[in-house]
Amino acid sequence: MSDVSTTANGDTVWVEKDALIDRIPRSVAMVFLFVAVVAIWDLVTRMGWVSPIILPTPGETLADLMFVGGNLLSGDYMLDALWTTTLTVFYSFLIAAGIGFSLGVLVGETKFGERAVMPYLVAIDTMPKVAFAPLFIAWLGFGISSKVALAAFIATFPIVVSTAAGLYAASENERMLFKSIGASRMQILLRLKLPTGLPYIFTGLKIAAVGVMAGVITGEFLGGGKGFGALIRQSASQMNTPRVFALILYLSILGLALYFTVVWVQRRFVFWNKSDQPGAIG
Amino acid sequence: MTMAVSRNTGQAEPVASPTRPVYEISRLSKTYARNELVALQGVDLSLYKGEFVSVVGSSGCGKSTLLKIMAGLLPPTTGRVMLEGKPVMGPRPDIGMMFQQATLLPWKTTVENIVLPIEIRNGKAAAKAATGRARELLQLVGLGDFGNVYPGELSGGMAQRAAICRMLVADPAVLLLDEPFSALDELTRDFMNMELQRICMERQATAFLVTHSLAEAVILSDRILVMKPRPGRVVEEVPVELPRPRTLEMINTPRFGEIVAHIRDLLGKETFG
């Protein structure tokens, strides 16, 4: 969009401008959207268009947010639940990262991995992995280990695929350079392919961070135990919808924390590649 | 790497002659087993100390194969490939190489990139010891102030100058140049060619260039090998007797035009049309 005007001496002046919607600053845009959504939410519930059991009012939700927040801050049972879930998420992520990375190197670096291992991984990956939950519970019981197993199982595959893809990312010229200076296969892997593949690997880790959260909560829904997922299911069974909303919001903080930890580590390690990190979302 | 060295032709081999070529290739053939494609047939080539030799030819004439064999990246099928009197059985520290792209590692500074060959061959300590040398080389190519920046901050021409330094850091006996400036814009390319000439003359370097550009080959070379495909072979060796140092103005001289026209005739007009 541009404004065209004419100066005194007859020259034309073009002034280029972004459209109005593109000129709103990020903070204003975020606040505006938040307020708009809450206003519609308030309107819909206040007018009784939606049953309060299905959707509580913003006010009720806020009250429950305060209640859960107070419980967490006072170190009551909800904090124990959150801590259990945090540990479960942490262990799942570490295991998924370790196994996923190792399998990814096997697939990306060796012909055997590519030919023999990858087809089976793809076959398993296409299965609905949540369906394995009863098996994990049967094998590992109702403690956190069955949840860790399910979540790690779900989150491993994106890391395998992204690691393998990352190892292919080095260009033919770069490989030739390394061969021409006498680099061994291990040197090419460690000094060229792995650093080149880091942005890919971190992308896989970010997808895995999301997958781990889903896996842990699913595990806690199905396997009970002491985690936040069990609290949510309990509140839902009591039709305490505002509590469910409040618990989910606090749970999302855990997910965000994990995600942005990965983003932070990526920025430290992959300092040379800014193009993969648009805005604040990483 | 397998190499059949045939000695049955009975030709006299000069012992410790002062004019022994730096690089010597004779009766070199390469057949790709997979599709029985004859990439090279009966190639003979000698590079003498301080000489600049180019090879030109259309795509698929085997010039890249020839360069890879000379670099030790690809085993020949039959023939003799000797650098400084020793057969080339694989990549060697006395071979310096440069590619179409600068291929600098983005997570290493310019200096760290330049000492990479030493780091790979001799370890981190040796690489560290060579940083002084890397900085001298950066001065030589006019990048003295850019030793500590990352390649993302270098322009295309600057990156290729850093790649020149990396090629020179181990003080190789021969420089193998694989269309080194073809990714640069034309003005930068002309400038870099003159820089390359200056550096090669200063260091008495022995260089072998693969290029698509006839003008580039003529302005830089003492001799030009003209190759044709199916099977890949050298059809003529064209001497370039223009005086050194060459300047870009020479491109407009009649002699330059005659040499380019002659090579173009050899290749067939359609090839570079």
**pLDDT by residue (tens digit) across B232-258?**
889 899 999 888 889 999 999 999 999
Interface probe for A, chosen from B64, B89, B99 (most Cβ of A below 10 Å), is: B99
Residue B91 has φ and ψ, to the nearest 5°, of -60, 140
Shortest CA distance from B176: residue in chain A: A180
Task: Report the SS3 class of residue B117.
Answer: helix
Please check whether residues A47 and A165 belong to one and the same domain. no
Does residue A9 form part of some domain?
A: no
Alpha carbon distance B85, B66 (integer Å): 19
Query: Where are the alpha helices (H) located in B204-248, listed in sequence order?
Result: 214-220
pLDDT at A245 over 80: yes
Please check whether residues A75 and A136 belong to one and the same domain. yes
Does residue A151 form part of some domain?
A: yes
pLDDT level of residue B15 (50, 70, 90 thresholds): very low
Alpha carbon distance A261, A267 (integer Å): 10
Please check whether residues A81 and A218 belong to one and the same domain. yes
Please check whether residues A267 and A231 belong to one and the same domain. yes
Residue with tokens 């950066």: B138
Tokens of A230: 């069990």
Would you call A173 an interface residue with chain B, using a CB distance cutoff of 8 Å? Answer: yes
Please check whether residues A209 and A252 belong to one and the same domain. yes
B123-168, pLDDT tens digit by residue? 999 999 999 999 999 998 888 899 999 999 999 889 999 999 999 9
Partner-chain contact A182 B73, CB within 8 Å: no
Please check whether residues A62 and A85 belong to one and the same domain. yes
What are the chain A neighbours of B101 within 8 Å (beta carbons)? 171, 173
How close is the nearest chain A Cα to the Cα of B51, in Å?
22
* Average pLDDT across chain B, whole number: 87
Please check whether residues A110 and A38 belong to one and the same domain. no
- Total domain count for chain A? 2
What are the chain A neighbours of B150 within 8 Å (beta carbons)? 272
| Chain centre distance of CA B60 | 18
pLDDT at B14 over 50: no
Tokens of B40: 């090279």
Query: What is the residue range of A31's domain?
Result: 25-55
Interface probe for A, chosen from B105, B153, B182 (most Cβ of A below 10 Å), is: B105
Buried b or exposed e, range B93-112, using 16+ CB within 10 angstroms: eebbbbbbbbbbbebbbbbb
Compute the Cα dihedral for A103, A108, A109, A112 and give only its sign. positive
Does residue A198 form part of some domain?
A: yes
Please check whether residues A29 and A89 belong to one and the same domain. no
Please check whether residues A40 and A158 belong to one and the same domain. no
Does residue A14 form part of some domain?
A: no
Does residue A16 form part of some domain?
A: no
For chain A, the straight-line distance linking the first and the last C-alpha, in angstroms and rounded, comes to 30
Alpha carbon distance A254, A209 (integer Å): 10
Please check whether residues A37 and A70 belong to one and the same domain. no
Contact A163, A201 (CB under 8 A): yes
How close is the nearest chain A Cα to the Cα of B184, in Å?
16
Would you call A180 an interface residue with chain B, using a CB distance cutoff of 8 Å? Answer: yes
A109-136, pLDDT tens digit by residue? 999 999 999 999 999 989 999 999 999 9
Residue A237, domain CATH: 1.10.3720.10
pTM given for the model: 0.83
Please check whether residues A40 and A162 belong to one and the same domain. no
Does residue A2 form part of some domain?
A: no
Sheet strands (E) in chain B: 23-32, 37-47, 52-56, 78-83, 86-87, 95-98, 174-178, 207-210, 223-228, 233-239
Please check whether residues A96 and A230 belong to one and the same domain. yes
Does residue A7 form part of some domain?
A: no
ipTM above 0.90, yes or no: no
High-pLDDT (> 70) share of chain B, %:
92
What are the chain B neighbours of A173 within 8 Å (beta carbons)? 99-101, 103
Alpha carbon distance A124, A132 (integer Å): 11
Does residue A257 form part of some domain?
A: yes
CA-nearest of A225, A241, A26 to A136 is A225
Partner-chain contact A182 B100, CB within 8 Å: no
Q: Which of residues 50-69 of A touch B (CB under 8 A)?
A: none
What are the chain B neighbours of A182 within 8 Å (beta carbons)? 90-93, 117, 120-121
